Chains A and B, each alone.
Chain A
Amino acid sequence: MIENFEHNQSAHCENGVISNLLKFHGVHLSEPMIFGIGSGLFMGFFPFLKLNGIPIATFRTSPGMIFQRATKQLGIKIRKAKYRNPKKAMDALDKAIDTGIPVGLQVGVYHLTYFPRALRFHFNAHNIVVFGKKNGMYQISDPVLENTTELTYNELATVRYSKGPFAPNGKMYYPTDIPSEFDLAPAIRKGISKTCRDMVDIPVRMLGTTGYKFVAKRMRTWPEKLGEKQASMWLGQFIRMMEEIGTGGAGFRFIFSAFLQEASKELNEPWLMDVSAEMTENGDRLREFALHSSRICKNRATQDVGYNELADILVEVADREKEIFTKLKKLGK
């Protein structure tokens, strides 16, 4: 049992795990800070990648990316390991905890017993921290929960070896080497500049701010092409990707705004506060989008806001975000 590990709730699992692990090692960075330095913000729509037969939309970079980028920018060395054999994976975990280090794990959500039942889907890229073993029970700090919890050996072994896309294969990780002094400013600048590149400069229509327009164009044809029922399911999945546990609201836009505020103080660039306010406004617009969409899901075809109006909101958001990230680009130079 590692006594001085402090559990802090966060909106998103990956940021939360990094933030909590670093706090244990004496580096106090907030969740939005990690998210920003790790360039977590993104937008993409993949008509050919399907989950339950419905195309995937994403509002963040791919799983593991935030972790990789944030630790690289901060110069933190990480030990990562995957194991073929579950027994070996559990032994390695025990050994690491015995030396007094909290360990981050990638797990699948479906078999997580402490999760709300309605949210247990086959999603394999969830992250938790194990910070000890008491009476044979592993002490778990799941960053999206208010309090710490515990799992038995078998439960933990099952979730570490869930199958399917992004299968964790017993992945575990912990920081090994942390520099004693940080210079945050360049890391923040780099983080923002990478986000700008992801959002504005990728010449693929599905990705970045153009991704919104890409979905918007398709969304207008959904009711005709798919029929009312299926169209509302597709819309439902789109909102779930945007709002489901872990985004902190409006597809990570609020976390990013919080990051911009912190960055503004850290870099001494007051104009970032205004950009943050614009981003918040944008996020509010996306919340409106979600609210209208959910009404369509609930009582199909009896509302004044239809798919066309929803698509218009997305186009508006796209234009605004393009403006925001073109402004932010100045920071990188």
Chain B
Amino acid sequence: MEKTNIPQDDLGLNDNKGRELCYATDENGDYTTGLSLGWEAKGIPLIEVWRDVRDTLIKISKEIEVGEASPLKFYMQYNLMDSFLVAASVGIATWRVKLHLMPFFYNRMNDTMTARYAKELGLTVDNMKNSNHITPLNISELIKEKSGLEL
């Protein structure tokens, strides 16, 4: 790549937090560095990932509405975690987290356990217990706030 060809595609991914360093050659073929605002080729897949997160959240909120998923599943996805990561953060076994993704086991959970989840997922215990407030959420807005992207 030549220095003059360093891409400057601003897709809103850098959140006004500055540019990144790239290595490129100058007119003599010697290596030098330059700053880049971003590149379309790597920005697009990242935006796709966020779209995917949004779509999955919408799907989960529908599942919660009909009682097929527990609020934990929603918060887990919102925090971009999987059950292994949640288990590691809370300090319990992965299979227990997987059970808690089902409404039956979720509703049987005691207060201490709920509090532990709430702490790791950045929620209040009330939020965790009450699944009614998930369905009216505007998920597109939430993700826009979280990622800083116009999807």
Interface residues of A (CB under 8 A from B): 9-11, 32, 52, 110, 114-119, 121-122, 144-147, 163-164, 167, 232-233, 235-237, 239-240, 242-245, 248-250, 254-255, 257-258, 261, 273, 276-277, 280, 283-284, 287, 290-291, 293-294, 297-298
By beta carbon, the residue of chain A nearest B34 is A249
Cross-chain contact B148 with A116 (CB below 8 angstroms)? yes
Distance A245 CA – B17 CA, assembled complex (angstroms):
13
User: By the criterion CB–CB under 8 Å, are B48 and A118 in contact?
Assistant: no
A164/B45 contact (C-beta < 8 A), A116-B148, A147-B18 known:
no
CB of B23 within 8 A of CB of A248, answer: yes
**What residues of chain B lie closer than 8 Å to A163, measured between beta carbons?**
85, 88-89
- Pairwise interchain contact A257-B23, C-beta atoms closer than 8 A: yes
Contact residues, B1-15 vs A (CB, 8 A): 1, 12-15
CB A125 to nearest CB in B, in angstroms, measures 15
Q: In terms of DSSP, what is the predominant structure of the interface of chain A?
A: helix
How long is the Cα–Cα vector from A287 to B49 in the complex, in angstroms? 20
Binding site for A on B (CB under 8 A): 1, 12-15, 17-25, 29-31, 33, 35, 39-46, 48-50, 52, 80-82, 84-85, 88-89, 146-149
B18 contact from A145, A255, A261, A298, Cβ within 8 A? A145
On chain A, the residues within 8 Å of B147 by CB distance are 117-118
Contact call A146/B35, Cβ cutoff below 8 A: yes
Q: A residues within 8 A CB of B52?
A: 233
- Chain B contact surface mostly: mixed
Determine the chain B residues whose CB is within 8 A of the CB of A144 once the complex forms: 20-21
Residues from chain B with a CB closer than 8 A to the CB of A32 are 23, 31
Residues of B near A254 (CB, < 8 A) are 1, 22-24, 31
A243:B41 contact, CB within 8 angstroms: yes
Q: Is B22's CB under 8 angstroms from A294's CB?
A: no
Nearest B residue to A145 via CB reads: B18
The residue from A167, A236, A273, A280 contacting B48, defined by CB atoms under 8 A apart: A236
**Inter-chain contacts of A283 with B (CB < 8 A):** 1
- B39: which A residues are within 8 A, CB to CB? 243
User: Residue B84 contacts which of A11, A164, A232, A242 (CB distance < 8 angstroms)?
Assistant: A164
8 Å CB contact of A257 from B31, B43, B146: B31
Q: What are 18 A-B contacts with C-beta separation under 8 Å?
A: A114-B17, A116-B15, A117-B146, A118-B13, A118-B46, A122-B81, A164-B85, A232-B48, A233-B52, A236-B46, A239-B41, A242-B42, A248-B22, A254-B1, A254-B23, A258-B23, A290-B42, A294-B42
Q: Which of B12, B15, B149 has the most CB of A within 10 A?
A: B15
